[in-house]
Amino acid sequence: MSQPVQIKNALISVYYKDNLEPIIHELNRLGVKIYSTGGTETFIRNLGVGVIPVEDLTSYPSILGGRVKTLHPKVFGGILARRGFAGDEQQLAQFEIPEIDLVIVDLYPFEETVMSNAEEDDIIEKIDIGGISLIRAAAKNFKDVMIVASKKDYGELEEILKTQNGDTTIDQRRSFAQKAFNISSHYDTGIFKYFNQEEQLPVFKESIQTSQVLRYGENPHQKGVFYGDLDRMFTKLHGKELSYNNLVDVDAAVALIDEFTEPTIAILKHTNACGIASRNFIKEAWIDALACDPVSAFGGVIIANDEIDAETAAEISKIFYEVLIAPAFTDEAVAILKEKKNRIILVRQPVLLPAKQFKTLLNGVIEQDKDEVIEGPEQMKTVTQKQPTAHELHDLFFANKVVKHTKSNTIVFAKNNQLMASGVGQTSRVDSLKQAVIKAESFGFDLKGAVMASDAFFPFPDCVELAAEAGITAVLQPGGSINDKLSVEMCDLKNIAMVTTGVRHFKH
């Protein structure tokens, strides 16, 4: 049937009763007969509105501590019956089953209970059975039945009741069914993921309910959407909405800055750090981060792990950037930064980030654990005759953090907690090294006494040979090449130190 359906009978059974009252009064005004259960029945009765207990319809009480209330043919028959279908109408009459035209049902708060670290027995009790069944039944029969499965839709339902006098259209019922199946599938995904934490079945399931349509994707001809709750992650103080490319860079910036505890600022372009420095004060960190590559910093994403004060803000405002992120800003800093119209200013909130990463690939999805390993001086094994100094080990640790978050193949030069240059995303490691040397020289950096980190092993000794000639005194690499011995021998020949970590940090 495609004509409007007049709501004559409604079934209402909800966990959350927020904003339900206006709907009850509107249904009462329209003369709709209301069936209900438990707490919802009491709520409706207390409003002075007539309500029929479901038990009176089924002739069965709520049993098993409330586990079974609505699971009965007299309930589901009234929801699933096809109007205008002779066989269904005959059976409704035979068994005295009323047609139910509106179902308002929500679900027990399973995800919220899991997040509260409740005991497993409490979590299991929040797996809804009757509610999910009612939602699916009403949504399946959307041609005749309106399903409202979330309190977020109460306002829209109330408007329909007021303006259409209890009639619902096929387009409205189909739209509400779409929302209902979204809710039920998300709910079941949450339950499955709870049970799939230990002995995991090899399946991929994700469900994210919040989203934000982006101006476009990676390029203007591509559509883009972010699925997630950015408002939980950031408080926006100023600027336009984040773009697709902004979000990709911001994600890389957050991952990089989380490696550092001392006051640090990083500048990223196309997910790679073009400047980063750690200092005692955040303003000093900014000045030295910018010095690494002030050309690439133009239009970049800047992230800090300490409060931005007025002096630092004044320095940052001297260049054009897309996004600035920090855990806090002074009022004076915000006033200075807001003078630039289109700069995006974000306060980062403490949000637990996912431990898994996934992306579409070919005709499927690949997933992996996030790379949360970082090797410090304790994990660095000296393999050369020359031992690295304590200062060199400290710089190697700094360089290793940066190289971990830079596109492969990559080489990073660092000295005194400052990135001096990097070679990024080259098809050969020696080309990355040559690129880094050229960049360091072009910005006036003296590489004498600097250290070098590589995201993967050296297949040949040419990299350490060129590095030594440039002034590098200590090298970090994971090791593991059949030619490791050649690189070690070259280090010994050039009188520089080398350490291996045993851990590769490719990033594609």
For residue 452, the surrounding DSSP H or E stretch is strand 451-454
Among residues 402, 394, 403, the alpha carbon closest in space to that of 376 is found at: 394
Q: Of 140, 151, 193, 391, which residue is the catalytic one?
A: 140
Burial class (CB in 10 A: 0-12, 13-18, 19+), 256: buried
416, 448 in Cβ contact below 8 A? no
3-state SS, 468-507, equals HHHCCCEEEECCCCCCHHHHHHHHHHHCCEEEECCCCCCC
Q: Which residues contact 380 (CB under 8 A, 6 or more apart)?
A: 388, 393, 396, 476, 499, 500, 501
238 classed as catalytic: no
Q: Which residues contact 178 (CB under 8 A, 6 or more apart)?
A: none
Report how far residue 325's alpha carbon sits from residue 306's, in angstroms, rounded to the nearest whole number.
10
User: Which segments of 338-472 does DSSP mark as H helices, in order?
Assistant: 390-404, 429-442, 462-470
Annotate 215-235 with DSSP letters as a single string.
S-SSSTTS--EEES-HHHHEE
394 DSSP β-pair partners: none
Q: Of 33, 151, 270, 340, which residue is the catalytic one?
A: 270
Annotate 38-68 with DSSP letters as a single string.
HHHHHHHHHTT---EEHHHHHS---BGGGTB
User: CA–CA distance from 498 to each of 164, 233, 354, 390, 430 (Å)?
Assistant: 78, 40, 34, 13, 17
249, 323 in Cβ contact below 8 A? yes
Q: Can you say whether residue 343 is alpha, beta or left, with left for phi > 0 and alpha for psi between -120 and 50 degrees? A: beta
Neighbours of 124 (CB within 10 A): 13
User: CA–CA distance from 508 to each of 165, 206, 258, 498, 505 (Å)?
Assistant: 58, 23, 20, 25, 10
Name the DSSP class of 5: E
Report how far residue 193's alpha carbon sits from residue 190's, in angstroms, rounded to the nearest whole number.
5
Name the DSSP class of 460: S
For residue 459, the surrounding DSSP H or E stretch is none
| Structure-token pair, residue 436 | 């880094």
Report how far residue 40's alpha carbon sits from residue 20's, in angstroms, rounded to the nearest whole number.
10
221 classed as catalytic: no
Q: Which residues contact 485 (CB under 8 A, 6 or more apart)?
A: none
Active-site residue list = 140, 270
